[in-house]
């Protein structure tokens, strides 16, 4: 889940992001210390499970069309999100975010400075605060499942052990009875042999 290095994040910046081979205004932030898939899952959890948005994948983006995302206000926007995993040499992950008023009419820092600032605030909060909490909750969920699974296994093994102990006790009792029976028969055998020898 983690690369094992210190998490480093820049501050979100206004930039140009390519959509359908056209550069459009958006906001991005680059960070290190997390895998791209982990960040993608965290973003989708934040936007879909917590914020209730409905998204779909299209041309490298997760798109949330005509929906209200309260961090940006109470207007319905088309929200575009992408996660760039970088290269093997430079394992930095970049999160890109674009907001459209519809028909790929993307907001700009000049036309919509408040919305652009809210986009930056959201990405800054996401990479600097939210990811830590999400990672902790993921670990808690994993460990909770692991503990439940191990507890179930231990209970099952405990039951098996108790059964085996009972079986062993029963077997030991059978062995004891057979030893007593054998000893009795051996005594009878020795006595019969002795009597036979004396008659010859």
Do the domain assignments include residue 194? no
Whether pTM > 0.75 for this model: the answer is no
Give me the number of domains the chain comprises: 1
Percent of the chain with pLDDT over 90: 79
pLDDT at 8: 57
Do the domain assignments include residue 151? no
- Pairwise CA distance, residues 30 & 84, whole Å: 9
Work out the end-to-end distance of the chain between its first and last CA atoms, rounded to an integer number of angstroms. 90
> Which CATH number fits the domain that encloses residue 31?
3.30.310
Do the domain assignments include residue 159? no
Give φ, ψ of 90 to 5 degrees. Answer: -115, 95
CB atoms within 10 A of CB 3: 13
Unique residue bearing structure tokens 């820049």: 10
Query: Which tens digit of pLDDT belongs to each residue from 22-70?
Result: 899 999 999 988 889 999 999 999 999 999 999 999 888 999 999 999 9
Query: Which tens digit of pLDDT belongs to each residue from 69-121?
Result: 999 999 999 999 999 987 666 678 999 999 999 888 999 999 999 999 999 99
Q: Could you tell me the residue range of the domain that residue 132 belongs to?
A: 8-146
């Amino acid at each position: 889940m983690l690369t094992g290095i210190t998490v480093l994040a820049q501050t979100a910046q206004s930039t140009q992001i390519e959509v359908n081979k056209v550069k459009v205004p958006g906001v991005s932030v680059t960070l290190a210390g997390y895998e791209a898939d982990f960040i993608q899952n965290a973003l989708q959890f934040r936007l879909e499970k917590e914020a209730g948005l409905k998204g779909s994948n299209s041309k490298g983006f997760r798109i949330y069309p005509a929906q209200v995302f309260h961090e940006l206000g109470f207007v319905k926007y088309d929200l575009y999100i992408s996660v760039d995993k970088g290269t093997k040499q430079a394992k930095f992950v970049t999160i890109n975010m674009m907001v459209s008023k519809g028909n790929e009419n993307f907001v700009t820092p000049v036309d919509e400075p408040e919305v652009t600032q809210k986009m930056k605030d959201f990405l800054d909060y996401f990479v600097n605060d939210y990811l830590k909490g999400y990672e902790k909750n993921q670990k808690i969920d994993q460990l909770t499942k692991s503990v439940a699974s191990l507890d179930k296994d231990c209970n099952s093994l405990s039951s098996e052990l108790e059964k085996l102990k009972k079986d062993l006790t029963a077997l030991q009792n059978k062995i004891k009875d057979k030893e007593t029976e054998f000893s009795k028969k051996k005594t009878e055998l020795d006595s019969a042999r002795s009597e036979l020898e004396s008659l010859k």
